Amino acid sequence: MKEPDIRVFFKRIIAGSFAVFLWMLINVTAGIKFNYAFWSNQTIIGNIVFYVWLLISGIVLFMFIKKLWIKPM
């Protein structure tokens, strides 16, 4: 890869993909493995905290990716 723009482009793709993968890994682990994503007969504080975390972390992830791609190459 002799073009510096291609290198920057691939770094953005890798950074964005890694961020999404890490976000999904954390949320799937917390939601499915620790059973916070599923509502049972009663609402526990863990479910509420999980869904608030999911919303806030998703917004932060979106802002990170937007900031990553809005910069000119």
| Arithmetic mean of pLDDT, 45-51 | 94
Answer yes or no: pTM beyond 0.85: yes
Question: For helices 4-28 and 45-70, what crossing angle results, to 10°?
Answer: 180
Q: Is the pLDDT of residue 4 over 90?
A: no
Number of domains in the chain: 1
Region 3-25: mean pLDDT is: 94
> Structural domain of residue 15, as residue ranges?
4-70
- pLDDT at 1 (0 to 100): 58
Residue 41 has pLDDT above 90, yes or no: no
Measured distance CA(46)–CA(49) in Å, rounded: 5
